[in-house]
Structure 1
Amino acid sequence: MSRTTTSLEVSTDALGAIEWRTIAIVSNVACITLVNSMLAGILVVCLPTMARDLELSSALLLWPASVNSLACGCTLLICGSITDVVGGRKMFLVGAFFLTLTTIACGVCKTGIELILFRAVQGLALSLCLPSSVLIITRNIPVGSWRNTAFACLGAGQPVGYSIGLVLGGIFVQSIGWRFGYYIGAILTFVIFLISIFGIPADPVSETQSLSTILKRLKSEIDWIGCLLLSTSLGMFSYVLSVLAGGSSRFLEPAPITLFSIAVALIPAFVFYVRRQERLGHKVIIPPSLWTNRVFTSLCITVFIVWGVFNAIEYFLTLFYQSVQSLSAIQTSIRFLPMVITGAATNFLTGWLVKRVRADILVLVSASITAVSPLLMAIVKPEWSYWTCAFIATACTPICADVLFTVANLLITSVFPPQTHGLAGGVFNTISNIGNSVGLAITAVVASSVTLNEKGPHVETLMDGYRVTFWLCFAANVLVLGVVAFGLRKIGQVGIKID
C-alpha cells in the first residue's frame, strides 16, 4: 500500500510540474503577442494625434501601421527556419529583448520618419517571436488538451490585445498622451522577457550545440535561396499593397510599378526552383507536393481571406465611428469592448471544443457568425443606435479568426515534420500577414474610389464607400464558407492525442 501511495504522489507531483510548466510557457508566448497587438490597436486610435505631434504627412499616414506587418511578414519564413536550428527559446528571448528596445524607441521618437523606421524594426523583432512561440509550444507541450489550450491562448493574444489597444488608445489620447501607451508596452514586454528566461525550458538539442555546429546546420538545413526568393517577392508585394492602400493613383508611380513587376517575375522563378529542389531530393522551404494536399491548400486560402476581412472590418469600423458618426477616440474605444469579450471567450471555447467537434464544422459555424458583421454594417444607417447593428457587428467580427487560429496551427503543425515546426509557424503567420495587407489595400482602394466618384455631402459619400467595402467583406466571407465546405470537409477533430 505504501509503495502504491508513494507512486501516486510522485505521479501527482509530476503532473503538477507539467501543468505549471505549460502555464508558464503559454502565459509568456501569449502575452508577447497580446502586448504587440495592443500597441497596434493603440496606434490606430491615436494615429491622428500622433500625426500632428510628429508632423507626419498625409501621404505617409498609413505607414506606421503597415510597415510593421510589411517587415514582419517578409522575414517570418527565414526566422522560422533559423528557429528550427537555433532553438525556440533563444529566438524568443532575442525577439522579446529587441521588442522592448524598439517599443521604447517608438515612444520617444521625435518625427514621423523615426516612428516609421522604429515600427519597421519592431516588425523584424516580432518575426523572431511568432515562429519561436509555435516551436516552444509543440516541443514542450504534448498533443492533446494542453496543446489545444496553448494555441487557443496564443490566438487570443491577437484580437484581444488589439481590442484592448483600441480601448486604451482612446483613454491615452484624452488623458496622459499616446506615448505612455508605448512606455507601458515596453515595461510589459521587458517583464515578459525576464519571466521567459526562467519560465521557458531550454531546448535540449540546441542548447548543447557548439557555435560551429549551429553554423553548419544553418548552412545545410535551411533553403536559403528559396527563403530569399519567396521573402523578397512577398516583401515587394506587401510594399506595393501598402502604397495602393494610400490611393490607387500612387500605384502608377515608377517605384511601385517596378517593384510589382519584379515581385511577379520572382514567383515563377521560385516555383521552378522549389520543384527542382524537391525532384533532386534537396532541402526545400515548402515542398510543392504539399500544395496537392487539399486540406493544406484550402486552409491557407481560408486563413488568407479571413485575416484580410478581419483586418479590413476592424479598420472600417473605426472609421465609421470616428469619421461618419463623429465620435471621439474614447467613445470609439468603448464601442470595441464587445470584441474583447467575444474574442477571449471564443479562443478558450475553441480550445475545449476542438477535439470534440469536427474542425470543418467549427470553422463553418464561426465563419457564418462572422459574416453577420459586414452584412449588418452594409445596411446600417449612421443615425441608428449603436445597439441596433454596430454592437452585434463589432461582437461578431473576431469569432472566425479566433477559431481558425487554433484549428490552423494544429493542422499546419501536423502537416510539417516536428523538426520544422518553427517554419510551420512562419508559414501560418506569413499567410495571415499577407492577408492583412491585401485585405486592407483592396478595401481601401474600393472605398476611396466610390467616395471620389460620388457627389454630395462628405459624410454621405464616405458612408457609401464604406458600405460597398462591407458588402465586399460579406462576399469574401461567403467565399470562405465555400472553400471550407469543399476543402476541409470530413477532416475530423484536430488536437487529439494519439497513443
Structure 2
Amino acid sequence: MSRSSIELVQYPEPVTQPPSLSLKGSNTPPLNDTRPINPPANAVVAQQADVPGKGTTTIVLLCVVCITGISSLLAGLVTVGLPTMAHDLRLEPNLLLWPVSIYALTCGCTLLLLGSVADVVGSRPMYLTGCVLQSGFTLACGLAQDGMQLIVFRAFAGIAISFCLPSAVSIITTTFPEGKSRNIAFASMGGGQPIGFSLGLTLGGVFSDTIGWRWGFHIAAIINTIIFVVGFFGLPKVDAEQHDILNRLKHDIDWFGAIIAISIILIPVFIFWVGRQEKLGRPAIIPNSLWRNRIFTSICIGVFLTWGVFNAIETFLSLFFQDVQEISAIQSSIRFLPAPISGALANLVMGLIAHKVRADWAVLFGTLMTCLGALLMAVIQPQWTYWVCAFPAMFLNPIGADALFTVSNLVITSVFPARTQALAGGVFNTIAQIGKSVGLATSAVIASSVTAQSGYKDKEGPLALMEGFRAAFWYCFALSCATGLLFAWGLRGIGRVGVKRE
C-alpha cells in the first residue's frame, strides 16, 4: 500500500468511538481525534467475507444492480413523462414537481430507520420485503386516477425502496471481501442507476406518445417482481445468525433517534440525543463523533449537494426540451441517452481505478464535469441546436454524482462497525435522496419566482419559462462550484480508497 493510502482500522465492539480514517505511513493523527496513528494492541481487523463463487456473485450483482436500476427507471419514466402525466391527471401547476421530489423525500426520511432494522433482522428479508412493496406501489402509480393519487403512491414507493437500498449495501459488504471485488460491486450498483434511467427515459418517451405512460409503471412492477423471485431463491443468507430478534429490535436500535431524524425541525434535538446515547455507551443511529472526521463530513455534505444538482439539472432539462423547445416526449427521451451512457462509464471506470488513484482527484474531476454541464445549460439559447450545449451538458451532468457514488460508499461503510453495514448504506442513501429532493425544491422555487417576475405576460409560455429555467441552471452551477471547493479542502490527504488491507 502506498504512503498516501487510507488505513481503515476496525476496533473491537462494543465501542463508543467509531473507527477513523488515518493516513498510513505518516505522522498525521486520525482526522476525527488525537489518538496515535498506530492501532492499540487490542485492535483487530474487521472480519472479511470469503470470496464468493461465480453463481453467488452473479445473483448478488443482479439483485443490487436491478434494485437501483428499477428506482432510476421510475425516475426516468417520471422525468420524461411528467408533462403528459400532469395533463392526463389534471395535476395543478404548483404540484407539478411533486411526483419527482416526493419519492426521494419519503425514501430519504426512512432510510436510517430501516437500515438499522435491517442490521437486526437481516438484510436479505428486508430486501425481499422491499421488493414486494415496491412492486405493489409501482403498480398502483400506473393505476392512479388523479394527480393526488399519483403523488401518494409515489410517496409510499419511496418508503418501499428504502427497505432495499441499505440492505443492498449490507449484502455487498458481507458477500465481497475488501478490495477490488467490493469496489467493482459498489460500482456495479451505481451503474444500475444510469442503465435504469436510460430504460425509463425510453419507455416514458415511447409510451407517453403511443399506448400511454401507465404501461411504464406496469412494466417496472413486472421487472421488480421477477427480481424478487430471483432474490428469494438465489440470494445467500449472509447475515449472522439471528436470535431473539424482538429483544434486539427493542434494545439494539436507537428508535427515538430514528424518529427524531425523520423530522427536519427536530435536528437540534437529534444532535443532542445521539450525543447523549454515545456518552452512555448506548446505540446511536449516527454518533456525533463521526462528524468530527473531516473526510466523512465532507463526503456527506458533498453527496447532498452533488445529488441535488444532478436531480435538478435532469428535471429541468426535460422541461426545457418539452416546454421551451416544445418537442415531443419521444424526442426528449432520445436527447437524454448520453446521460446514462456517461453515467455507466463513470461507474465502470471508478470501480476499476478506485484503489489506484487518489480519491480527491477523482471526485474533483467529476465535480468539474458536472459544473461545466450546468454552465452550458445556463448560457444556452432555445433556438440553438441540440449539439451546441444540450448534448455536452447531458453527457457531463451525471459524471460528478456517479464518480462520487463509489468513493462515498467505500468511505461511509468503512467508518461504521461491521455489524451496522445496512445502517451505513442508509446514511449514504439518506443524504443522497434528501439532497435530490432539496436540490429540486430549491431550484424550482428559484425558477418559479424568476418566471413570475419576468416581463412576459404569458407566464406559462416558453420565453417566461426559459427565464426561470436559466436561473435554476445558474443556481446549480453555483452549487457545483461550492461543492468543488468543499472537496478540495475536505478531502485533501485522503489518498486511495477501497484498498485491500494486508
Residue 468 of structure 1 is matched in structure 2 by 471
Deviations 1:56-77 (A, max 9, x none): 3334333222222222111111
Matched residue, 2:358: 358
Q: Equivalent residue for 2:150?
A: 115
Alpha-carbon distance change, 143 to 374 in structure 1, aligned in 2, over 3 angstroms: same
Q: What does residue range 174-193 of structure 1 map to in structure 2 within 5 Å?
A: 174-193=209-228
Q: How does 1:124-203 map to 2 (within 5 A)?
A: 124-203=159-238
Unaligned runs of 5+ in 2: 1-49
Q: Considering fraction of residues, name the structure with more helix.
A: 1
1:61-460 to 2 correspondence within 5 Å?
Answer: 61-206=96-241, 209-210=242-243, 213-233=244-264, 263=265, 266-456=266-456, 458-460=461-463
Change (3 A) 1:429 1:31: same
Partner of 1:252: none
The answer on whether the counterparts of 1:160 and 1:339 sit within 8 Å (CA) in structure 2 is no
The alpha carbon displacement at 1:16 in A equals 9.2
State the one-letter code of the partner of 2:251: S
Letter in 2 for 1:391: F
Distance 1:16 1:407, change over 3 A: closer
**Per-residue deviation, 1:393:** 0.3
TM-score, structure 1 as length reference: 0.87
Q: Does the 8 A contact of 2:120 with 2:249 survive in 1? A: yes
Q: Which runs of 5+ in 1 are unaligned?
A: 1-14, 234-262
Structure-2 separation of matches of 1:315 and 1:385: 19
Q: Which residue in the other structure is 1:479 paired with?
A: 482
**Identical-residue share of aligned pairs (%):** 53
Cα distance in 2 between the residues matched to 1:161 and 1:348: 15
Match of 2:83 among 18, 31, 48: 48
Point out the more displaced range, 66-75 or 334-343: 66-75
Aligned-partner SS, 1:91:
helix
Q: Distance in 2 between matches of 1:72 and 1:277?
A: 25
Contact 2:277 2:283 (8 Å CA) reproduced: yes
Counterparts of 1:178 and 1:421, CA distance in 2: 37
Amino acid at match of 1:102: F
Q: Compute the displacement of 1:32 (Å).
A: 1.3
Q: Deviations over 1:162-209 (max 9, x none)?
A: 233122211001112111111111111011001111221013524xx3
Instruction: Determine helix, strand or coil for the equivalent of 2:355.
Output: coil
For residue 407 of structure 2, what is the amino acid of its counterpart? V
Provide the aligned C-alpha RMSD in A: 1.6
- Using the alignment, how far apart are the partners of 1:425 and 1:339 within structure 2? 25
Which one is further off, 333-342 or 454-463?
454-463
| Partners of 1:220 and 1:203 in 2: CA distance | 23
Measure how far apart 1:444 and its partner are: 0.8
Secondary structure at the residue paired with 2:495? coil
1:342-399 CA distance string (max 9 Å, x none): 1111111110010110110100111111211011111111111111111000000100
Give the CA deviation at 1:130.
0.5
SS at structure 2 position matched to 1:205:
coil
Verify the 8 A CA contact 2:142 2:215 in the aligned structure 1: yes
Task: Return the alpha-carbon distance in structure 2 between the equivalents of residues 463 and 149 of structure 1.
Answer: 41
Deviations 1:312-357 (A, max 9, x none): 1101111111111111111111000111211111111110010110
Post-superposition offset of 1:294: 0.3
Contact 2:174 2:239 in 1 (8 A): no
In the alignment, is the contact (CA less than 8 A) between 2:101 and 2:440 conserved in 1? no
Which has the higher mean CA deviation after the structures are superposed, 90-99 or 164-173?
A: 164-173
In 2 relative to 1, CA 108–460 (structure 1 residues): closer, same or farther, beyond 3 Å?
A: closer
Which amino acid in the other structure matches residue 137 of structure 1?
I
AA partner of residue 455 (structure 1): G
Cα contact 2:67–2:165 (8 A) shared by 1: no
CA–CA distance in 2 between the matches of 1:423 and 1:215? 18
Quick one: which amino acid aligns to residue 493 of structure 1?
A: R
Larger displacement relative to structure 2 (485-494 or 50-59): 50-59
Query: Contact 2:102 / 2:437 at 8 angstroms: preserved in 1?
Result: no
Q: Distance in 2 between matches of 1:377 and 1:56?
A: 27
Whether the aligned pair in 1 keeps the contact of 2:51 and 2:175 (CA below 8 Å) is: no
**Aligned runs of 1:12-23 on 2, under 5 Å?**
18-23=53-58
Larger deviation, residues 305-314 vs 469-478: 469-478
1:250 aligned partner: none
Between the aligned partners of 2:316 and 2:86, the Cα distance in structure 1 is 19
Post-superposition CA distance 1:34-78 (Å, at most 9, x none)? 012111211122223223333333343332222222221111110
Post-superposition offset of 1:218 = 0.8
Determine if the alignment matches structure 1 residue 488 to structure 2 residue 477: no
Residue pair 1:22, 1:146 contacting (<8 A) in 2 also: no
1:98 Cα shift?
A: 1.3
Q: Which amino acid aligns with 2:500?
A: K
Deviates more, 1:62-71 or 1:97-106: 62-71
The one-letter code sitting in structure 2 at the alignment partner of 1:399 is I
> What residue is the counterpart of 1:27 in the other structure?
62
| CA shift for structure 1 position 17 | 5.8
